[in-house]
Chain A
Amino acid sequence: QKEVEQNSGPLSVPEGAIASLNCTYSDRGSQSFFWYRQYSGKSPELIMSIYSNGDKEDGRFTAQLNKASQYVSLLIRDSQPSDSATYLCAVNVREYGNKLVFGAGTILRVKS
């Protein structure tokens, strides 16, 4: 069974701080990794994708991937109350094809 693990939280950070969200995965052959944001009662919204080791930055978001450690993280700089949501880590467990396995998500609360 291919698993994606996240700390459920909640992770509480003050407004303006850096939020750090972490994810580990079990399938060493996975090649594509995604972070989604999900507000309560809404659908997952794609924030970042990352495919190679290292960092990838997009605005206030940085995704980090370490395939040797089977670890993906998401940093949110200058956190805003509107960032309060559940952050889902998703891993494509297929080399050919797309099948995303989702983690249970980390609840982030940004306090003003």
Chain B
Amino acid sequence: EPEVTQTPSHQVTQMGQEVILRCVPISNHLYFYWYRQILGQKVEFLVSFYNNEISEKSEIFDDQFSVERPDGSNFTLKIRSTKLEDSAMYFCASSRGQGSTGELFFGEGSRLTVL
């Protein structure tokens, strides 16, 4: 069964460092997303991406965050200068379409720890 894959599974970084989280969405999916979940809290929307551009972003997704689809398979989330409060599990997701084809499938997540 096709799945969303994410790397790394866990990254520890110092505050102020740049981090890149990588995702390979399901191959025939056209819509890509990043969500995050701080320990013990809700899953929160960060950004959606379609046709090589951001469709929507949340208030969390400020200038420190960026997304890119550098080639035909990878989808990346970059955090330019990490803060302690960026420590969370980051989930990549993809969907085939919208509406009734808009079921999101999530990767296993990348746990980011900022020290």
Contact = CB atoms under 8 A, between A and B. Distances in A.
Measured as residues with beta carbon below 8 angstroms from the partner, the interface class of chain A is 20 to 34
B55 interface: yes
A98 interface: yes
A46 B104 CA distance: 8
Interface residues of B, number: 25
Contact of A98 (B44, B104, B106): B104
B98 interface: yes
Contacts of B98: 94, 96-98
A88 B103 contact: no
Contacts, number: 59
Interface in A94-109: 94, 96-105
The SS class assigned to the B binding surface is strand
14 contacts: A32-B100, A43-B91, A43-B106, A44-B91, A46-B103, A94-B56, A97-B56, A98-B31, A98-B33, A98-B48, A98-B102, A98-B104, A100-B104, A105-B42
Interface of B: 31, 33, 35, 41-45, 48, 55-56, 89, 91, 95, 98-100, 102-109
* Smallest CB-CB A-B distances: 5 pairs: A102-B43, A43-B106, A98-B102, A43-B109, A44-B106
Given A32-B99, A97-B56, A100-B35, 18 more contacts: A32-B102, A34-B103, A34-B104, A42-B108, A43-B89, A44-B43, A44-B91, A45-B106, A46-B105, A51-B99, A94-B56, A97-B48, A98-B33, A98-B98, A98-B102, A99-B45, A99-B48, A104-B41
